[in-house]
Every structure is written in C-alpha cells, then in structure tokens.
Amino acid sequence: MRNPGIAATLSFLIPGMGQMYNGEIIHAIIWLVITPGLWVGSGGCLGWVCHVISAYLAYNYAKEHPVFN
C-alpha cells in the first residue's frame, strides 16, 4: 500500500522522490531535472514552488492509487 504522507514528504525533500516511490519513473526524472533548473534560473524563487507542486502531485497520486502495480 502506498502512503500519501510518505510520498509527499519524500517529494518535498527531494522533488521526484515521491514520484519514484509511487512508481512514476518518468515523472520523477522530469521533477529531478526541472526543479534544480528553476532554483538556479530564478535565484531560488521558483524552486519552492516546484517542491510544493511535486509534493502535492505525489500525495494525490498515492491517494488515488493506493496499491502498487
């Protein structure tokens, strides 16, 4: 069973790790590439936005798909 709290926490700490936990490998790679780019490109302003969005999406996916396939 997927735990939405774990998925959100992992993804908030390292964007993409919650998606990796959920089995969404492609989404995980995208978040792992985009977030550092936005941290550097925006001077840190948009990095937090990516962390929050990534955690929210990981949480929702784990909540809607509680069983590993």
For residues 15 and 32, is the Cβ–Cβ distance under 8 A?
A: yes
Q: Is 33 helix (H, G, I), strand (E, B) or coil?
A: helix
- At residue 6, the pLDDT reads 95
Percent of the chain with pLDDT over 90: 68
- Residue-wise pLDDT for 13-48, tens only, equals 999 999 999 999 999 999 999 998 888 988 888 888
- At residue 22, the pLDDT reads 95
- At residue 33, the pLDDT reads 92
Give the Cα separation of 14 and 17 in Å (integer): 6
At residue 52 the predicted structure's pLDDT band, cuts being 50, 70 and 90, is very high
Which contacts qualify for 44-49: CB closer than 8 Å, 24 or more apart? none
